[in-house]
Amino acid sequence: MKLSRKWLAEFVDISAGDKEFSDAMTLSGSKVEGAEDLGAEIQNVVVGRIEAMERHPDSDHMWVCQLDVGREAPVQIVTGAWNIHTGDLVPVALHKSILPGGKKIEKGKLRGVPSNGMLCSLKELGLDERDFPYAVIEAAALLHDYHPIDPDKPSIPADIQPGHKIFGPVVAAEVLECMPLADGSFHTCMAVKDATVCPDIHCSNVHVGDLVAYNTRTDSVCTLADLHAEQKEFPHCISDGIFVLREDCKPGDDIRPVVGLDDHVVEFEITPNRPDCLSVIGLAREAAATFNVPLRLHTPVVKGSDAPQGQTLNELLEVETPDPELCPRYTARMVRNVKIGPSPKWMRERLRAMGVRPINNIVDITNYVMLEYGQPMHAFDYRYVKGGKIVVRRAKEGEELTTLDGGVRTLTPNMLVIADETRAVGLAGVMGGLNSEIVADTSHVVFESANFDGTTIRRTAAALGMRTEASAKYEKGLDPLNTLPAVNRACELVELLGAGEVIDGVIDVLNYVPQPTVLKLEPEKINGLLGTDIPEDEMRAMLARLDFTLEGDTITVPSWRGDVEHYSDLAEEVARLHGYDQIPVTLMRGETTQGGLTEKQKAERRAGELCRSLGFSEIITYSFTSPSCWDKIRLEEGDSLRRCVTILNPLGEDTSVMRTTALPSMLEILARNYSARNAAVRLYELATTYHPVEGQDLADERQMLTLGAYGGDLDFFAFKGDVEALLAGMNVKNVQFERAAEGRTFHPGRCAEIRVNGTPVGILGQIHPLTAQNYGVDAALYAAQLEFQALLDARAPEARYVPLPRFPSMQRDIAVVCDQAVTVAALEDCIARGARGLLKETALFDIYTGAPIPEGKKSVAFSLTLRADDRTLTDAEADEDVKAVLALLERELGAVLR
């Protein structure tokens, strides 16, 4: 919300500068986003009147102008612009002046002729044509500026003379006379061979002596477009030039107030609970309360006039509201004999300062009132209200309406329209209809000032993608009591501007009963909540400043403060006027609490530390994914992981389901790193997965610890080693790895299921080349996924000290030959069971195949550590154990000593 400080000053006197004002308003709850001095960048630019102008002796396009700038002597300035004429008032940047963007202007010479400054365009003043619609320049095609694209084949001969035909009805004409008129057009006379024609033209680059293209059929001067010419063919005939002022000003005046750049604009961020602050009056009230100065409000006074032929307003216009819950109040007045024209400068300036584009007096009045009162207004042409009847109703299914912006809108019954007897003429609270637009010949105008249901308006605007200034206000819920003062203000302005005759009477349909909120003042409770010691009379004074009515302990909340419902809301009002910075700073008293991490949270940290110490880096990925990810990891059609929590309104297919496995996220990140050519990558994520539960609202949210890696000297066993170290670090013992049945996501021969004491806790392995291919990776990827909770449950009890061995151990190495299919785990298991109590450790140290080991067999070598706790072992005892081990190996697995 922008606020013009000039406009604010109409309601409240605040001497504070922008910075002080902004800080104070921010601290009282109206957050300031920034403040701008509209004219800060302009210095030493004044109004000048062109007293004389002649062509530059050494240039084919420049003019040398003599300007009255309110000094004794005229100032000479050379310009390249062609749209100026003697008598024009123009902005003059004098010697040593500054323009927006820090551009400095100094005197100099242009092709030898002294120039003491610069004439300014709109753009050079930091303005544009929206600010001054009248400053639009229409350029005629001047024949002496013609530069043919192909010099050998000119479309217009260089020696063309007045009267010569150019094409069709277009002939060359020489300008004999060119007189600027008050409305910005020009009265001209031109010679066409023997005849003289006198068209009134809008092209401002035409001067006496110019040769133009004249259309004999339309009696007008041709522009480039009329000649189907390109800009480069007429390089100086451009729609750009000096800003010729049509303001009430005189030579020597500072340009800033003339063009409305003497204002300061403060931009506010208004919270959604305070729609009343989306208005000049609302912010003025806040400012008055903040600075504790009086607020000057104004009650609109409308003189009014009788309706024609003794009719009353009610006879001219009837309003029906068949859906009262969507239209709590509808207020309207009428104006007849409207004279559409531009609104006065002060009004245009205020609109501009607040970011609204001036259009015409009636439309500007509705915008002005909306900004001032925060009440959206709409004006429509009475001619097009068929049957003199306004019906505020739900739209019919599929009903169409062309809105003011030209868009054709297809409506639904959830939307509210303003209709006449037969058709919709406006989209309630959003935008008017094109069919009832205020146009140049509008004579009777209906001003609508209504209150609509905020949610309906918000949904309509959202559904149609047309959030407007009006809908943005309505959607927050406006004060129904504001409609009448607003419509009266509009009518007052009509009379003030002489824009028409206001017809007596007001149409006011009330579909609600105003029920002000009443609260009790409880100073102790407020102080208790705030931790303050604010005296009651101060609280009363603060609330009164915000127009709360106090009678004894009873507080009546003003109608525009729908956000105040509880004592805690009152506490906020008191706190913000007292100043949040004035509230003391204390530490909590009462019972102390023990802070800390839960066992699970500690385990999460531990897991992260272990992963990082093993060289894995942490990643964070989205919880939602694409359902196609299951195909990418090649899950079977009926895999239970395909049952998932689905988002009904996702941003896109890519993020439409909640993940049930974190592997795809990991693979995606591995692939991204691979395509970024990151050489060796080790990653981990503690990821949540989401599993729907039959008969339960909430999903089962399970944490997975995923690891993923590729590159470097990685192979299956290096990766498995990392997982083993991680498990050991997490104090998970008794881990078994079994050849996994899964062979789709993972390589069928390089994938292990991880079990602890027989319970599965996860899976690890090399990713199936086809899966990797689905992620665009042609290298070996490795991944593991561990169920975090299962891991926590599988942790061994905390370590207890075992006395260090007091007797030496003995080492026995054995190598056995067995079938290829016998696993190391089976051999180890056999060794463990075969020993007679002296075996302390078994370590694999070699696997060998090839001669002299027979085909289909392998030799596996282990180093066994044997020890007794109570004596030094003898060789015989150790050999006894080894013999028992070998016997069992042979019996159970057919493994014989090599």
Partner 1 sequence: MKETLEQIRREALAALEGAGSAQELETLRVQYLGKKGELTAVLKQMGKLSPEERPVMGQLANEVREALTASLARRQQELEAAGLEARLAAEAVDVTIPGRRPALGHKHPMSIALDELKEIFIGMGFQIAEGPEVELAEYNFTKLNTDEGHPAREWGDTFYMREDSSLLLRTQTSPMQVRTMEQQRPPIRVIAPGRVYRKDEVDATHSPMFHQVEGLVVDRGITMADLKGTLNTFVEALYGKGTKTRFRPHHFPFTEPSCEVDVQCHACGGAGCRVCKGEGWIELLGAGMVHPKVLQGVGIDTEIYSGFAFGIGVERMAMRRFSITDLRLIFENDMRFLSQF
Kindly identify the residues of this chain, within the stretch 688-747, that bind partner 1 according to CB under 8 A. Answer: 688, 690, 697-699, 701
Place of tokens 């909640």: 658
Total residues at the site for partner 1 (CB under 8 A)? Answer: 89
Q: Which is nearer to partner 1, 609 or 869 (CB)?
A: 609
524 binds partner 1 (CB under 8 A): no
Q: How far is the CB of 754 from partner 1 (least distance, A)?
A: 20
Place of tokens 């007429």: 234
Build a one-symbol-per-residue string for 15-54: x at contacts with partner 1 by CB under 8 A, - elsewhere.
-----------xxxx-x--x--------------------
The CA distance from 395 to 423, in Å, is 10
Are 159 and 282 contacting, i.e. CB atoms less than 8 angstroms apart? no
Q: How far is the CB of 9 from partner 1 (least distance, A)?
A: 24
Q: Which of the ranges 199-207, 589-597, 814-822, 869-877 carries the binding residues for partner 1, by CB under 8 A?
A: 589-597
Q: Which is nearer to partner 1, 697 or 855 (CB)?
A: 697
Q: Which is nearer to partner 1, 552 or 652 (CB)?
A: 652
Place of tokens 């309509």: 460
Residues from 672 through 691 that contact partner 1 (CB under 8 A): 672-673, 676, 678, 680-684, 688, 690
Q: Looking at residue 229, what DSSP letter applies? A: -
Q: How far is the CB of 50 from partner 1 (least distance, A)?
A: 41
Q: How far is the CB of 1 from partner 1 (least distance, A)?
A: 15
For 85-102, b/e burial (b = at least 16 CB within 10 A) is bbebbbbbbbeebbbbee
Q: Which is nearer to partner 1, 582 or 757 (CB)?
A: 582
Which of 100, 558, 608, 743: binder of partner 1 (CB under 8 A)? 608
Residues from 456 through 495 that contact partner 1 (CB under 8 A): 458-459, 462, 475
Q: Which is nearer to partner 1, 287 or 335 (CB)?
A: 287
Residues from 57 through 76 that contact partner 1 (CB under 8 A): none
The CA distance from 750 to 767, in Å, is 8
Q: Which is nearer to partner 1, 71 or 612 (CB)?
A: 612
Build a one-symbol-per-residue string for 418-457: x at contacts with partner 1 by CB under 8 A, - elsewhere.
-------------------------------------x--
Q: How far is the CB of 759 from partner 1 (least distance, A)?
A: 24
Are 369 and 483 contacting, i.e. CB atoms less than 8 angstroms apart? no
Q: How far is the CB of 48 from partner 1 (least distance, A)?
A: 35
Q: How far is the CB of 643 from partner 1 (least distance, A)?
A: 13
Build a one-symbol-per-residue string for 236-275: x at contacts with partner 1 by CB under 8 A, - elsewhere.
-----------------------------------xxxx-
Build a one-symbol-per-residue string for 80-119: x at contacts with partner 1 by CB under 8 A, - elsewhere.
----------------------------------------
Q: CA geometry: angle at 208 spanning 205 and 213, to 5°? A: 65
Q: Which of the ranges 231-239, 394-402, 430-438, 591-599 carries the binding residues for partner 1, by CB under 8 A?
A: 591-599
Q: How far is the CB of 841 from partner 1 (least distance, A)?
A: 25
Segments of 123-224 assigned E as strands? 165-167, 170-180, 186-192, 195-197, 200-201, 211-215, 220-221
Residues from 822 through 851 that contact partner 1 (CB under 8 A): none
Are 331 and 450 contacting, i.e. CB atoms less than 8 angstroms apart? yes
Are 416 and 392 contacting, i.e. CB atoms less than 8 angstroms apart? yes
If you compute the radius of gyration of the chain from its CA atoms, what whole number of angstroms results?
Answer: 43
Q: How far is the CB of 24 from partner 1 (least distance, A)?
A: 11
Q: How far is the CB of 719 from partner 1 (least distance, A)?
A: 14
Determine the straight-line distance between the first and last CA of the chain, rounded to whole angstroms: 90
Angle between the N-to-C axes of helices 716-729 and 599-613, in degrees from 0 to 180, rounded to the nearest 10:
150
Residues from 314 through 373 that contact partner 1 (CB under 8 A): none
Residues from 774 through 793 that contact partner 1 (CB under 8 A): none
The CA distance from 63 to 75, in Å, is 14
Are 21 and 35 contacting, i.e. CB atoms less than 8 angstroms apart? yes
Q: How many CA atoms lie within 13 A of 845 on its CB side?
A: 12
Segments of 181-317 assigned E as strands? 186-192, 195-197, 200-201, 211-215, 220-221, 264-269
Are 471 and 453 contacting, i.e. CB atoms less than 8 angstroms apart? no
Q: How far is the CB of 668 from partner 1 (least distance, A)?
A: 9
Which of 15, 594, 640, 694: binder of partner 1 (CB under 8 A)? 594
Of 368, 314, 346, 316, the closest CA to residue 487 belongs to 368
Identity of the residue numbered 175: V
Residues from 609 through 668 that contact partner 1 (CB under 8 A): 611-624, 645-651, 655, 658
Q: CA geometry: angle at 109 spanning 41 and 180, to 5°? A: 70
Are 344 and 536 contacting, i.e. CB atoms less than 8 angstroms apart? no
Q: Which is nearer to partner 1, 150 or 697 (CB)?
A: 697
Strand 617-618 to 681-691 pairing: parallel
Q: Which of the ranges 48-56, 72-80, 338-346, 594-602 carries the binding residues for partner 1, by CB under 8 A?
A: 594-602
Residues from 271 through 290 that contact partner 1 (CB under 8 A): 271-274
Identity of the residue numbered 330: Y
Strand partners, 65: 53, 77
Q: How far is the CB of 791 from partner 1 (least distance, A)?
A: 17
Place of tokens 């009267």: 163
Q: How far is the CB of 460 from partner 1 (least distance, A)?
A: 12
Place of tokens 């694209």: 149
Residue 309 buriedness (CB in 10 A; 0-12 / 13-18 / 19+):
exposed
Q: How far is the CB of 457 from partner 1 (least distance, A)?
A: 11
**How would DSSP label each residue in 485-519?**
HHHHHHHHHHHHHT--EEBS--EEEE-S-----EE
Q: How far is the CB of 454 from partner 1 (least distance, A)?
A: 8
The CA distance from 520 to 570, in Å, is 10
Q: How far is the CB of 83 from partner 1 (least distance, A)?
A: 38
Q: How far is the CB of 575 from partner 1 (least distance, A)?
A: 5
The CA distance from 427 to 394, in Å, is 10
Verify cis geometry, omega within 30 degrees of 0, for the bond prior to 854: no
Give the total residue count for the chain: 898
Q: Which is nearer to partner 1, 208 or 725 (CB)?
A: 725
Of 358, 356, 404, the closest CA to residue 381 belongs to 404
Build a one-symbol-per-residue string for 548-587: x at contacts with partner 1 by CB under 8 A, - elsewhere.
---------------x--xxxx-xx--xx---xx-xxxxx
The CA distance from 522 to 73, in Å, is 73
Q: Which of the ranges 432-440, 525-533, 631-639, 729-737 carries the binding residues for partner 1, by CB under 8 A?
A: 525-533
Angle between the N-to-C axes of helices 361-373 and 345-353, in degrees from 0 to 180, rounded to the nearest 10:
50
Q: Which of the ranges 85-93, 98-106, 490-498, 598-606 carries the binding residues for partner 1, by CB under 8 A?
A: 598-606
Are 149 and 230 contacting, i.e. CB atoms less than 8 angstroms apart? yes
Residues from 530 through 549 that contact partner 1 (CB under 8 A): 530-532
Q: Which is nearer to partner 1, 27 or 550 (CB)?
A: 27
Residues from 125 through 164 that contact partner 1 (CB under 8 A): none
Q: How far is the CB of 623 from partner 1 (least distance, A)?
A: 6
Cα dihedral: 542, 548, 549, 551 (round 10) = -50
